[in-house]
Amino acid sequence: MQEKLKPGLYIVATPIGNLSDLSARAADVLARADVLAVEDSRVTAKLLHHIGARRPMISYHDHNADRVRPELIARMAGESVALVSDAGTPLISDPGYKLVRDARAAGVVVTTIPGPCAAIAALTLAGLPTDRFLFAGFLPAKAKARADAIAELSAIRATLIFYESGPRLAAALAALAGALGPRDAAVTREISKTFEETITAPLPDLAARYANAPPKGEIVIVVAPPGAGAPASEDEVEKALREALERLPPAKAAGEVAKAFGADRKALYARAMILKSDA
């Protein structure tokens, strides 16, 4: 008979594609935990079948987290609870952080079993700077909110990482290209699966490639930091400045575009004032 795990919360990273990526330690925890808190029991059942284990499961996701969380915390006083998502590392774009927060507040021991993460895997495939990066999750679905989110990130001197779905990829890339110009970028999908693919190109080229050809699979977009891509043309800088002026006063618009393109801020401000007066 296997020895029981000590009571507490175990954060278990699971494969994002190839089931062989599950670590031996993760498999051991999943096989011995008293209960698994899962995003989708059907998905986790396949993983348990792969390692020859059967464990009780409780659904824990965006729609029931507030209701289920107190029950899970109570069980951790005397039981081991393993938290898993459908794929990758829990807490990355899911409500798991609230469970960790409340578990710590209740004095529960929290342990992580690290492993696959689509954001980090895509970063290693993109061939873009890795010394500083920012994971930004999913961009908003609505155009105005998406544009605002990209504008907020545009001046950050770090490689940007986004998750996206196939049907929304074209709109996301078009918005990124419009706001960030010809920065180098990568679209990675189906990581560690049979049809893994990474396409690298400047953002406008990627936007054109996927404009009428939404890909299948789970997708990660990786975008180079300001100044790391090909130099922008005067027309591209002008377009970005006009778009920024629709949202910001001249000084802030000039600053945003200067950081995004590595351009002269004073010259952009002067041009912004002319555009503003002509409007």
Tokens of 111: 């342990």
* pLDDT tier for residue 257 given thresholds of 50, 70 and 90: confident
pLDDT tens per residue, range 28-75: 999 999 999 999 999 999 999 999 999 999 999 989 999 999 999 999
pLDDT tens per residue, range 65-107: 999 999 999 999 999 999 999 999 999 877 789 999 999 999 9
Burial profile 92-130: b = 16 or more Cβ within 10 angstroms, e = fewer: bbbbbeebbebbeeeebeeeebebbbbbbbbbebbebee
Cα 157 to Cα 131, 160, 181: the distances in Å are 10, 9, 15
Using CA atoms, how far apart are residues 40 and 85, in angstroms rounded to an integer? 8
Tell me 204's DSSP state: H
| Residue-averaged pLDDT of the chain | 92
pLDDT tens per residue, range 159-174: 999 999 999 999 999 9
215-232 average pLDDT score: 84
pTM of structure: 0.80
Tell me the residue type at 181.
G
In this structure, the chain runs to a length of 279
